[in-house]
Amino acid sequence: MKVVKFGGSSLADAASFRKVIDIVHADKNRRYVVDSAPGKRGDGDEKVTDLLYRCKRETEEGQDCASTLAFVRARFEEIANGLDIADKVQVADEFAVIEKNIKAGASADYVASRGEYLNGKLLAAALGFEFIDAAEVVRFHEDGTFDQETTNVLTSMRLEQTEYAVIPGFYGLIGTRDDDADTAGDIARIKTFSRGGSDITGSIVARAVGADAYENWTDVSGFMVADPRIIEDPARIETITYLELRELAYMGASVLHEDAIFPVRKQGIPINIRNTNDPDDEGTWIVESTAKKSRYVITGIAGKKDFCSINIEKDMMNSEIGFIRRVLQAFEDQEISVEHVPSGIDTLTVFVHQDEFIAKEQAIVSEIHRLAAPDLLEIESDLALIAVVGRGMKSTRGTAGRIFSALAHAAVNVRMIDQGSSELNIIIGVETRDFEKAIRAIYDIFVTTQI
């Protein structure tokens, strides 16, 4: 049994819908489909979700959003007419209800969710599957946080009653559901996930039905070893573990919404990232663990720019109980998130985001002196952190040496290097101006030349 989720770029118009229909019908095990709202059809186009948010803003500002809503309606009518299902989904009637609710003051969450809702209705009609409104099965607590366990029970019970279904992504309902889905009470209680929420819905459904795999279809053939904006045509990652993915996502890699990992990870369900435009490509498998050796020593490279480092020195620091805690207390008191904290015998470095730190730097410096009395404190700006991640590094000698060698050959000055206790990743600090050069050098030595 497979749960399949299609992103907005895979459901942008009637032509892309046809690809999705062919993919779903090509495998009878693809029983439950989660949809996103229509995405961009090309350069200069806008996502339907963005247009719906605009419509809500226009209404709040006292403007008439009729033209924006008419444009959105035309998008859905194009899909319905192109698939010859206009008689099955009455788009005009649906938009009459949406417009009425917007004028009555419906929330931004309700308005934005209509993209997934209508796309789900169209896709269900085109596939011949049952449509299940996400408001029927996805629950949020009264404070707006996701109610994972109630959702799992409701979704599992509901899908036991149908063999093939389409469930819209991105939204659910706060609290209990009224009998009539169109009541004002339900409309007011519609709640959306953050952006990327359709990925989460797909994961929720996969967990609820105990799927053998969760296929996430998008417009790329899985994850790349490095950012294609930096490395031209980078190699594809064939298999990646949840832990490796977490490390890369944390360091800024544009990957699956991280909240989408946890529901399926608990059940050991693998995620397969696939390309709607190249359905024969195997894509990338995300798994809990694997005996498969990585194609390269490293699995991926990712990084973030624009950090500051606060370098602190104090003689006999290592024997002073609570020293590190007192230093970090200064950042906590100023509500500054700490990114990385490498240390030595008498030295400690704290990496923080530059834009957050600058406004409060002198207050933090003063507090560090008051709490920890360092011998020396220096601040450096315009730094970048790069993570080299890979399960293969644990069993390969000399990985750090190869990184040093590659960066030295590229004339990149290494400001910091630190390896995690899991031996799954190595963090390198470089100047921001050397960020892309450093990534190219590391990619070259581990992937291009594989020295």
> Both tokens of residue 30?
């693809």
**What is the DSSP track for 202-222?**
HHHHHHHHT-SEEEEEESSSS
Length of the chain: 451
Within 10 angstroms of residue 448's Cβ, the number of other Cβ atoms is 13
Residue 377 bridge partners (DSSP)? 312
Angle between helices 435-443 and 399-409 (to 10 degrees): 130
Asked if residue 187 has pLDDT above 80, the reply is yes
Q: Which residue has the tokens 């996805």?
A: 138
| CA distances in angstroms from 357 to 122, 347, 381, 387, listed in the order given | 48, 20, 10, 22
State residue 359's pLDDT score: 93
* Torsion angles phi and psi, residue 344, rounded to 5: -125, -160
Confidence of residue 134 (pLDDT cuts 50, 70, 90): very high
Which alpha helices (H) appear in 308-358, and where do they start and end?
323-333, 354-357
Asked if residue 184 has pLDDT above 60, the reply is no
Asked if residue 173 has pLDDT above 90, the reply is yes
- Gap between the Cα atoms of 224 and 281, Å rounded: 14
Q: Please measure the distance between the N-terminal and C-terminal CA atoms of the chain and give it in whole angstroms.
A: 42
- Gap between the Cα atoms of 384 and 379, Å rounded: 14
Mean pLDDT of the region 151-164:
95
- Gap between the Cα atoms of 101 and 114, Å rounded: 11
Residue 241 bridge partners (DSSP)? 287
In this prediction, what percent of the chain has a pLDDT beyond 70? 96
Residue type, 239: T
Asked if residue 449 has pLDDT above 70, the reply is yes
- CA pseudo-torsion sign 45, 51, 57, 60: positive
Asked if residue 258 has pLDDT above 80, the reply is no
Asked if residue 182 has pLDDT above 70, the reply is no
Mean pLDDT of the region 127-142:
96
- Gap between the Cα atoms of 211 and 154, Å rounded: 16
CB 13 within 8 A of CB 79: yes
**338-350 pLDDT tens trace:** 988 988 889 999 9
- Gap between the Cα atoms of 296 and 106, Å rounded: 52
**66-78 pLDDT tens trace:** 999 999 999 999 9
Q: 51: closest CA among 94, 98, 115? A: 115
Which 8-state DSSP code applies to residue 420? -
**27-77 pLDDT tens trace:** 999 999 999 999 999 888 999 999 999 999 999 999 989 999 999 999 999
State residue 422's pLDDT score: 67
Please give the radius of gyration of the chain, using alpha carbons only, rounded to the nearest integer: 25
Maximum C-alpha span of the chain? 79
State residue 255's pLDDT score: 64
Instruction: State the number of CA atoms in the 13 A half-sphere of 169 facing the CB.
Output: 32
Parallel, antiparallel, or unpaired: how do β-strands 2-6 and 30-35 relate?
A: parallel
Asked if residue 183 has pLDDT above 60, the reply is no
CB 182 within 8 A of CB 196: no
Which alpha helices (H) appear in 253-398, and where do they start and end?
261-267, 323-333, 354-357, 361-372
Choice among 46-60, 138-152, 196-210, 246-260 with the minimum mean pLDDT = 246-260
Asked if residue 215 has pLDDT above 50, the reply is yes
Which 8-state DSSP code applies to residue 241? E
Mean pLDDT of the region 215-221:
91
Q: Which residue has the tokens 């229509």?
A: 38
State residue 266's pLDDT score: 84
The mean of the pLDDT values for the chain is 91
> Both tokens of residue 368?
């560090």
CB 234 within 8 A of CB 228: yes
Mean pLDDT of the region 289-306:
89
Confidence of residue 395 (pLDDT cuts 50, 70, 90): confident
CB 367 within 8 A of CB 374: no
In our burial notation (b when 16+ CB lie closer than 10 A, e otherwise), range 207-243 reads bbbebebbbbbbbbbbbbbbbeebbeebbbbebbbbb
Residue 417 bridge partners (DSSP)? 428
**84-124 pLDDT tens trace:** 999 999 999 999 999 999 988 999 999 999 999 999 999 99
pTM of the model: 0.85
Asked if residue 253 has pLDDT above 80, the reply is no
Confidence of residue 181 (pLDDT cuts 50, 70, 90): very low
Asked if residue 388 has pLDDT above 50, the reply is yes
State residue 246's pLDDT score: 83
- Gap between the Cα atoms of 297 and 287, Å rounded: 18
Domains in the chain and their CATH numbers? 2-219 (3.40.1160.10), 300-448 (3.30.2130.10)
State residue 178's pLDDT score: 55
